[in-house]
Structure 1
Amino acid sequence: MSMTGGQHLKRLREQLGLSMRDVEEASFALARRFENPELHVPISRISDIESKGVLPNIFRLFSLSTIYGRDYRDLCGFYGIDWDAIPSALQCAQIPKTHLFSALRNALNLKVPVVVDPAFDVRRTTNVVRMIQKWGTVPASFLSQLATTGHTYAFVGTEDFTMYPIIMPGTFLQVDETRAEIINEGWRSEYERPIYFIETREEFICAWCKLSNGQLMTQPHPLSPATPRVFRHPQEAEVIGRIVGIAMRLGDWEPDKMGVKKTPARLN
């Protein structure tokens, strides 16, 4: 049986060697320090919180967090509130107007890659998640979503012009692995046409696709110097998923700065 939030708080207090009286006195000092009587936590309320399932309000959570030397988010976690889940939950609240985002300004304990496979080559299109050998935690927003269920992330190689100019070399991709079925029709423009992330025996490819009679054709953008390719499906090529998001710099992309060959004349 899992512990309740109050039981977690009681165990934490006892591990620190604090009595209820110690906690009350410390909370009273906090109330005086900040001139806020709501920060005071009397013994009777501590007992109710620990044994009767009474929920502490935000003021008392602040006091307990300060007294126990634990992050406020950790105490909220005792009650099932996961602050690091905010990025994946944002889609539940659709805000119609453009706005600044600060929901994770002070986010903690987010997963980031700390050891990357030395074979990682930025010139080649890659499944980024597979190149990460070790994860760590640092205060950085959103990066924990690299571990989001159902999605993987990819990097378009600095020499990969397959979807140029819609997707530039050096772009980061978000790939929805639950949408791996190839759609052969139904779009009205190239911007609506699904783009897929493909894994072959030798490399990864980001491109439009067409599937027919067990043959998977990757179709580059018409302005790209890349050529269509045909693979047996699924023996030679597997559809990892559909591109649902990108992070791409605009306006300052130059081949020379990225260490790639000059763009072919027909692209000028």
Structure 2
Amino acid sequence: MMEGIGAQLHAARARWGLTLREVEERSNLLAQQWGNPSFKISASWLDRVERENRELSAAKLIVLAYIYGLTPDQMLGLCQGPSESPAQLEQISSPNSTQLLLQGPLEHHARLWLPDTLVTDQPPEDTFLLPSDQTTLPSHYRRGVIGRRDRTMEPMIRAGSIVLIDIQKRAIAGRKDWNNEFDRPIYFLFTRTGYVCGFCEVDKKAEWLTLVPHNLSYETNKRWKYRKEIEVVGMVAGVFTRRVA
């Protein structure tokens, strides 16, 4: 029997504010998505585990770790023998909490696309696309840096901001696909004179692409012949925006 595992799992569930029935429903959904019925967890079984410190199979441990957002170290802590002290799960975050990224997978992923040099360097004059780095980023992501001359998205995206670009998403979304400027897709584009970044519109015949600035920017609309004078590199998936010092 694993010492303290029931209490630890109960504490993890409580931190997420989940009922036993909600955990059961989430596990059923995961079992369907992953195509493995062994991932299903019943509310009654989980209640007994929490009260009686019952052992967990690998499948049950995996699905509970996924639902509770446990790190690999915390998962291993649940597997400690009786002679070892039980793992402490006080650092488990709730879905709505804000954390300083000092360690763990989120911090690792952040550093992959946001190296310190990109944050500390002075903003460039022109917007540019960083070389592909498939050793750290998935192959369908690229990074770009917004230049001082590209004021299309100010003040939402300022000069020196770093954008993460999904190059698999190049189709320009229509008006029905977004509700406000925060939902509206932002695109990274390449023209004959360089790179630009902003909202986009395409006419009904798909002959012209219009770069639309943020409504607080002093820039005006710019237009190019779609796919002839301008190319969509991809949709912006993430932004690190600098504050004005």
Q: Normalising to structure 2: TM-score of the pair?
A: 0.50
Identify the structure with bigger relative contact order (alpha carbons < 8 Å, sequence gap 6+).
2
| Structure 1 length-normalised TM | 0.46
Please say which structure displays the higher CA radius of gyration.
Answer: 1
